[in-house]
Amino acid sequence: MSLPHPRVTPEARTIVTAAPAGLTVTRASLEDWHRIAEWAADEGWNPGTGDLSCFHPTDPDGFFIGRLGDTVVSAVSIVTYSPEYAFLGYYLVHPDHRGQGLGLATWRAAFPHAGTRTVGLDAVPAQQATYGRAGFTPAYTTVRYAGRPEGTAARTADVVPVTDAHLDAVADYDRACFPADRRAFVTRWLRAEHHTAYVHLRDGAVAGYGVIRPARDGKRIGPLFADSPEGAAALFDALAAHVGPGEEVAVDIPEPHRAATALAEARGLTARSHTVRMYTGPVPPADEGRSFGVTTLELG
């Protein structure tokens, strides 16, 4: 069964009670979404332990769950970043309730939230054809590299911890690397508890930044944005200094980005899994060459 084509009118925003078997789709609270994050972790996505406090406020109306009675059985997020761009993630059905069309019904009820925006997502390979039938077109592959970092260098003087004085400039830099202005999200991401962020400065101007955060297993780096391979390496090394003994770190690298792949491999990381970035339409411009690691597969 194919998903519906996601081109919908902005007026079609009603949350509905959907078949089969009385599935009710509603917007999800932050408390609801803690359960969905656990599902994602059980699927091996290895989300950051504090991601929800940054994710949900980005678009509180963009998180949806399906219930059968009082039981949560399905979920999807469709976060709107701008009038032109939205991102889909967390498309999940609980293992006990798969094969009943509940995911499709949840999708149909939630997707009108995107309006006429271009929508991006990161598809697991098994779902790529399904998304293709829904009007999504593949753009590139994102590979998760993970391992115990090795061969790192001492932090250089032009890589410093992010402070409040850097927030506006970092948000401006992020906009050049991402298809929408996500200033509020970036501020939360940089300030979040247990997140560690560094900025690369060149002649006093931001030339890159990166964040590392704890996950269910090890730590994750994202984003890792930089003007040059040298800047990306300096940022990676500063971030990797916060990885504990025996602990692994993961970073999601868009391909083909040979310099990013070379950096990961030089630091002892290996390819573990991959997803396919897909879009429904024209993507607002972003400098993909600066992306040595995406922020998160769940929110772009």
In a domain, 5, yes or no: no
Put simply, whether the predicted model's pTM sits higher than 0.85 gets the answer yes
Same domain, 112 and 150: no
Same domain, 287 and 192: yes
Mean pLDDT value across residues 234-252: 95
Q: How confident is the model at residue 229 (pLDDT cuts 50, 70, 90)?
A: very high
The CATH number covering residue 153 comes to 3.40.630.90
Question: How long, in residues, is the chain?
Answer: 300
Same domain, 287 and 157: yes
Strands 63-68 and 205-214 come out as: unpaired
In a domain, 133, yes or no: no
**Cα angle at 49 between 268 and 149, to 5 degrees?**
10
Same domain, 35 and 155: no
Same domain, 233 and 276: yes
pLDDT tens-digit map of 262-282: 999 999 999 999 999 999 999
Beta bridge partners of 78: 88
pLDDT tens-digit map of 37-91: 999 999 988 999 999 999 999 999 999 999 999 999 999 999 999 999 999 999 9
CB 91 within 8 A of CB 97: no
Looking at the chain, the whole-number percentage of residues with pLDDT higher than 90 is 81
The CATH number covering residue 49 comes to 3.40.630.30
In a domain, 191, yes or no: yes
CA distance 100 to 152: 49
Q: Show which of 55, 86, 121 is a domain's final residue.
A: 121
Same domain, 188 and 285: yes
In a domain, 135, yes or no: no
Listed range (21-25, 27-31, 250-254) with the worst mean pLDDT: 21-25
Q: Is the pLDDT score of 16 beyond 90?
A: no
Q: How confident is the model at residue 126 (pLDDT cuts 50, 70, 90)?
A: confident
Q: What's the Cα-to-Cα distance from 275 to each of 124, 136, 285, 295, rounded to whole Å?
A: 5, 14, 21, 14
In a domain, 132, yes or no: no
Same domain, 152 and 283: yes
Chain mean pLDDT for the chain: 90
Same domain, 34 and 87: yes
Q: Is the pLDDT score of 161 beyond 60?
A: yes
In a domain, 129, yes or no: no
- The pLDDT of residue 1 is 31
DSSP string, 202-265: ETTEEEEEEEEEEBSSSEEEEEEEESSHHHHHHHHHHHHTTSPTT--EEEEEEES-HHHHHHHH
Mean pLDDT value across residues 135-159: 87
CA distance 42 to 9: 35
CB 188 within 8 A of CB 256: no
In a domain, 270, yes or no: yes
Measuring CA to CA, which residue among 46, 47, 120 is closest to residue 82?
Answer: 120
Q: Show which of 89, 121, 153 is a domain's final residue.
A: 121
Same domain, 187 and 280: yes
CA distance 248 to 131: 32
In a domain, 300, yes or no: no
Backbone φ and ψ of 245, nearest 5°: -60, 130
Mean pLDDT value across residues 242-260: 95
- Domain with 242, as residue range(s), is 144-293
How many separate domains does the chain show?
A: 2
Same domain, 164 and 38: no
Same domain, 115 and 196: no
